[in-house]
Chains A and B, each alone.
Chain A
Amino acid sequence: MSMHAQPAVDDRQVVGRIAAGDREALAELYQRYQRVLFSYLQQLTPDYGLAEELLQDTLVAAWKSAHRFEGRSSVQTWLIGIARRQAHNTLRQRKLPLIDEAELDGLASTDPVPEDFTLACVAREELVRAFHQLAPVHREILVLTFVHELSYQETATVLDVPVGTVKSRLSNARRMLRALLDAREEMKR
């Protein structure tokens, strides 16, 4: 289930119109990507009001930088990249918690772990609850991969990390899900 269904060429034409100062084009782009951007920003901050503010800043930045968009990435990747930069700048300025990604990547491993396999047997509600308990950096990678359906390369572009790091973060997110579910099982006993 992807949140967007617009052809990429059409998207680029819309960005071209924004670069020419067409206000309706920005409204059109917003209609197409509001869910994508807002769901992404909500993974970076639990504050609904701040997520809305970041969404506004993302659109303002898109309006101002549309003339610099060269179509080297998809419009969705471009917008999510802008949203991420806006979020990180604002969180840093306001001294709100940011995940130390370097530290997380240091724990990277892509080896399959046999005990992970049982995740498929867990009820969906349990998995959803565990998803909400994940660190923002893990929720972010899962949302980019499975909701926005970005490829490894596109995700690497958005996060400004190598493709290998994208794979290891995905793997770590899965491990953390497993750990959270195990901890809950332990508490039940």
Chain B
Amino acid sequence: MKSQVPESQHYVSGLLPEYVNRKLDPFETSQVKQHLLHCKACQAELSTWEAIREATQFAIASESAPSLTILDQVWAKIETPARQRQVSRWPIRHVLTHLWLVLNRQVRIIHKSIWIASTLVGLFCCCLALFFSTHSPGRVHDATSLLTLFTAVVAASGVAFMYGSDKDPGFEITLSTPTSIRIVMLCRMALVIGYNFVLSAIASAIIAIAHGGGL
């Protein structure tokens, strides 16, 4: 049930928090003062607001202050976007530098067995091709086809074993870096395929030299 409150009391009651804060204009202040002289309910309510005001101020006064480094951190936040804007003026340079750094680091992370296996298989193919070219000169083209096949198989095998939690000792560290795992994988694939391409190019050159550059 709604309480029966006189209109003037309702009006003054709404002004009391501002009256406590001395935020009312002189006219309203005098109205409230006049009303308070004879209204016990508003006198009690005024006391309540004064008590709440005092308790609120006391509660806030006892709260801790911010640390002394706030302003330094503010300047760091203000200046960071400016630095980022400077970088974005050279997007190609930035991207190339980033790619170079990723490739450089991945060379060290990729398992050494991949490099060794590729070299050994490349060497074996090269020897095989040389053997065919020496003993069966008519089957040199078979030897070069064999070299192509082996190069592709070795590159594919290398790619299959270069990534994954069970094959990659640095897997967790790779996951924790800010570089996307897709970029990491593409870089590793480019490195392994590129390495096999170089090996097969050297093998082709050796076979060609063995034939007096006639291939």
Q: Is the CB of B59 within 8 A of A34?
A: no
| Residues of the B chain whose Cβ atoms lie less than 8 Å from the Cβ of A39 | 60, 63
Q: Is the CB of B52 within 8 A of A34?
A: no
Residue tally, chain A, CB below 8 Å to B: 50
Q: Known: A27-B71, A119-B48, A146-B52. Is A128-B64 also a contact (CB below 8 A)?
A: no
Does A7 sit at the interface, judged by CB under 8 A? no
| Residues of the A chain whose Cβ atoms lie less than 8 Å from the Cβ of B7 | none
Choose from B13, B51, B66, B71 the contact partner of A119 (Cβ within 8 Å): B51
Interface size range of chain B in the complex? 35 or more
Compute how far the CA of A133 lies from the CA of B59 in the bound complex, rounded to whole angstroms: 11
Compute how far the CA of A101 lies from the CA of B78 in the bound complex, rounded to whole angstroms: 32
Compute how far the CA of A116 lies from the CA of B52 in the bound complex, rounded to whole angstroms: 11
Does B14 sit at the interface, judged by CB under 8 A? yes
Residue of A nearest to B23 (CB): A151
Report A159 CB to chain B, min CB distance, Å.
Answer: 15
Q: Known: A38-B65, A110-B13, A111-B10. Is A127-B70 also a contact (CB below 8 A)?
A: no
Contact pattern, B 1-22, Cβ under 8 Å of A = 1, otherwise 0: 0110100011001100110110
Does B172 sit at the interface, judged by CB under 8 A? no
Instruction: Kindly name the residue among B9, B17, B63, B75 whose own CB sees the greatest number of chain A CB atoms within 10 A.
Output: B17
A109-143 CB contacts (< 8 Å) to partner B: 110-114, 116-117, 119-120, 122, 124, 127-128, 130-132, 142-143
Q: Is the CB of B48 within 8 A of A34?
A: no
Q: Known: A1-B57, A30-B71, A124-B54. Is A52-B48 also a contact (CB below 8 A)?
A: no
Does B47 sit at the interface, judged by CB under 8 A? yes
Does B142 sit at the interface, judged by CB under 8 A? no
Report B46 CB to chain A, min CB distance, Å.
Answer: 9
Q: Known: A42-B63, A55-B66, A59-B74. Is A120-B51 also a contact (CB below 8 A)?
A: yes
A-B contact pairs, 19 of them (CB 8 A): A3-B60, A23-B75, A30-B71, A35-B65, A39-B63, A42-B63, A56-B73, A59-B70, A59-B71, A112-B45, A119-B52, A120-B47, A127-B51, A132-B59, A145-B17, A146-B52, A146-B53, A149-B21, A151-B21
Where the two chains meet, the residues of B that have a C-beta atom closer than 8 Å to any C-beta of A are 2-3, 5, 9-10, 13-14, 17-18, 20-21, 23, 41-42, 44-45, 47-67, 70-71, 73-75, 77-78
Where the two chains meet, the residues of A that have a C-beta atom closer than 8 Å to any C-beta of B are 1, 3, 23, 26-27, 30, 34-35, 38-39, 42, 48, 51-52, 55-57, 59-60, 63-64, 110-114, 116-117, 119-120, 122, 124, 127-128, 130-132, 142-143, 145-147, 149, 151-152, 167, 170, 173-174, 177
- Closest 7 CB pairs between A and B? A120-B47, A127-B55, A117-B44, A146-B53, A119-B48, A146-B56, A59-B74
